[in-house]
């Protein structure tokens, strides 16, 4: 029997890589992490994904000379493991709950990412560590205002539900926590006045599948002190 040896091309502050890592950990799929900074356009990354984006999941069982099954795009990767690994189903029960999970995953993958995570990554990570430029204060102010709106929406959902898409923990929680954790690392989240969201995020931070992400650091860019604290 050939066993898969999954290798993930990723970097610590890529929210989509974080989502895939937590999904694999919840499903007990071991993954070897390979570091790639997409803007450096390495040959390994562009060969695996012509779009030049992380994450990419490669079945490394074929050995370094050939490339095995290659999965590209975090949604496609999460679908693949949902379809092939029975343990810990993450979409919810019934078509309506699964549709709600997918709606919220899209919300965080697209809306939160473009309004909050992208400007923070650009202004506080890329400009500081790689371009050595000062951040744009207006872009940061707009990202902060957008983050506030997203936290209000989380509070609203969590007033009615135990987890984001319903009674059970699932992919919506993972997608949201993946984006929020990157934004929090980059000091873009003010939890004050958002008790339901804070209590939910505390539960996410306590999960053994999530804790390894909080221990990682991007060189030259320390997170705020509260970042990995369970009580923040």
Residues in contact with ligand GSH by the rule CB under 6 A:
14-16, 38, 52-55, 73-75, 109
DSSP 3-state assignment of 133? coil
Q: SS3 for 36-69, per residue?
A: CCHHHCCHHHHHHCCCCCCCEEEEHHHCCCCCCC
CB closer to ligand GSH, 158 vs 213 = 213
Kindly state the smallest distance separating residue 104's Cβ from ligand GSH, in Å: 15
DSSP 127: I
Kindly state the smallest distance separating residue 74's Cβ from ligand GSH, in Å: 3
CB closer to ligand GSH, 16 vs 81 = 16
CB closer to ligand GSH, 41 vs 145 = 41
Residue nearest ligand GSH, CB atom distance:
53
Kindly state the smallest distance separating residue 72's Cβ from ligand GSH, in Å: 7
**Cα–Cα–Cα angle for 59, 179, 225, rounded to 5 degrees:** 110
Q: β-strands 6-10, 56-59: how paired?
A: antiparallel
CA distances from 211 to 21, 163, 178, 205, 223 (A): 11, 18, 12, 6, 15
Kindly state the smallest distance separating residue 198's Cβ from ligand GSH, in Å: 25
CB closer to ligand GSH, 75 vs 142 = 75
Place of tokens 């390979």: 34
Kindly state the smallest distance separating residue 109's Cβ from ligand GSH, in Å: 6
CB closer to ligand GSH, 14 vs 25 = 14
Answer for the pair 181, 191: CB distance below 8 angstroms, yes or no: no
């Amino acid at each position: 029997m050939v066993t898969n040896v999954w290798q993930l091309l990723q970097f610590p502050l890529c929210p989509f890589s974080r989502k895939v890592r937590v999904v694999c950990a919840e499903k007990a799929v071991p993954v070897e992490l390979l570091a790639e900074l997409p803007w450096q356009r390495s040959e390994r990354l562009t060969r695996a994904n012509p779009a030049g984006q992380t994450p990419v999941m490669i079945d490394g069982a074929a050995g370094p000379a050939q490339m095995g099954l290659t999965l590209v795009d975090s949604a496609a990767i999460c679908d693949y493991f949902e379809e092939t690994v029975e343990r810990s189903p993450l979409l919810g029960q019934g078509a309506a709950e699964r549709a709600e999970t997918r709606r919220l995953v899209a919300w965080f993958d697209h809306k939160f990412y473009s309004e909050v995570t992208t400007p923070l990554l650009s202004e506080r990570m890329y400009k500081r560590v790689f371009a050595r430029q000062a951040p744009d204060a207006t872009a940061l102010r707009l990202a902060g205002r957008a983050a506030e709106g997203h936290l209000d929406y989380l509070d609203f959902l969590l007033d009615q539900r135990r987890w984001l898409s319903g009674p059970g923990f699932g992919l919506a929680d993972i997608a949201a926590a993946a984006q929020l954790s990157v934004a929090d690392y980059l000091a873009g989240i003010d939890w004050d006045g958002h008790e339901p969201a804070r209590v939910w995020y505390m539960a996410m931070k306590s999960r053994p599948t999530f804790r390894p992400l909080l221990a990682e650091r991007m060189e030259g860019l320390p997170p705020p002190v509260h970042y990995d604290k369970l009580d923040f």
